[in-house]
Amino acid sequence: MLLLIARRLGLGLLVALTVMTLAFMLTRLSGDLAISIAGPAATQADVEIIRKAYGLDRPLYVQFFSWVGRAMVGDFGQSYFFKDSVANLIARRLPITLTLGLTGLSLALIISIPLGILAAVRENTWIDRGVTMFTMVGQAIPSFWLALILMIVLGLNLGILPISGTGTWQHFVMPGIVLAFTAIPALTRLTRSGMIEAMASDYIRTARAKGLSRARIIFKHALRNAAIPVVSIAAVQLGFMLGGSIVIETVFALHGVGYLGWESIAKNDFPVVQAVVLVLASIYIGLTLLSDILNALLDPRLRTG
């Protein structure tokens, strides 16, 4: 078990390092950073000053290693636009994105697990087909469009929720619903197929033969086994949701990390872009690690690594 964790941890670090390299290369794609930062009105002298001030006159590999070295201890440099340290910016925005992510994931689980169970125990009936249709529809709805529709219906027509901003918990309801919708189809299908598989297994037949009630069989025996992949996937799914929250945060002007990423891309604020990519990737890596460990705890067969 410890060996497994150690191996996964090593792999995760290696992946994180690769992502750092890619993130660094990404922000150098545009060519000369100093010119982009200085803006179109700048003179050659301005550009030189900026190049010196931000250390962009050093060789690329020096810039890279200095960035990696400092990022290891949590120092991501200064933001060009916000006039604050990148670490501070992210620390302030991260709770908002995490709140959104957890809200979305909880909503998704609350909706998709019962739906998946319902479809599985009523396999091949119109209920099952209805659930499948629902997942197909959910998969095809563009999230930003769903966001706008919710704004019109819940925000304007019914007037029960604020349309955009970050102030109160009500501001998280609509974004949470939209984010949940990005995960519901996959989680519902996973629960459904897991339950169908579990219901057809030998231990369920044994439970039936013992004369246990249907509710007890479904909820106590089948669900426990079907839940294992769902729980572990939920962690990974949260990682994807946080990465995908940039669109939703931008639509709702929810000032989380994703919105910060969008702002800094629009403002050519490269240290922030690099750091946001790295932070989101690290969270994903951490969550997959957690998922692997969770899996191994739940299923002893996976512990050999």
* Residues within the interface to another protein (CB under 8 A): 11, 14-16, 18-19, 22, 26-27, 29-30, 36, 123-124, 129, 132, 136-137, 139-145, 148-149, 151-152, 156, 182, 186, 189-190, 192-194, 196-197, 229, 232-233, 236-237, 239-244, 246-247, 250, 258, 261-262, 265-266, 268, 273, 276-277, 280-281, 284-285, 288, 291, 295
> SS3 for 85?
strand
Q: How far is the CB of 71 from another protein (least distance, A)?
A: 16
Separation CA 91–CA 73 (nearest Å):
14
Q: How far is the CB of 211 from another protein (least distance, A)?
A: 27
Nearer to another protein, 212 or 267 (CB): 267
Q: How many helices (H) and strands (E) does the chain have?
A: 13, 0
Separation CA 188–CA 115 (nearest Å):
6
Separation CA 60–CA 48 (nearest Å):
16
Nearer to another protein, 126 or 169 (CB): 126
Nearer to another protein, 47 or 186 (CB): 186
Contacts 24+ apart (CB under 8 A), 144-152: 144/247, 144/248, 144/251, 146/178, 146/181, 147/174, 147/175, 147/178, 147/248, 147/251, 147/252, 148/251, 150/174, 150/177, 150/178
Q: How far is the CB of 249 from another protein (least distance, A)?
A: 11
Q: How far is the CB of 278 from another protein (least distance, A)?
A: 10
Kindly report the CA angle at 245 between 13 and 145, in degrees rounded to 5?
Answer: 150
Q: How far is the CB of 209 from another protein (least distance, A)?
A: 24
Q: How far is the CB of 208 from another protein (least distance, A)?
A: 20
- Pair 256, 24: CB distance under 8 Å: no
Nearer to another protein, 112 or 295 (CB): 295
- Pair of tokens at residue 114: 């019962």
Nearer to another protein, 15 or 212 (CB): 15
Nearer to another protein, 85 or 143 (CB): 143
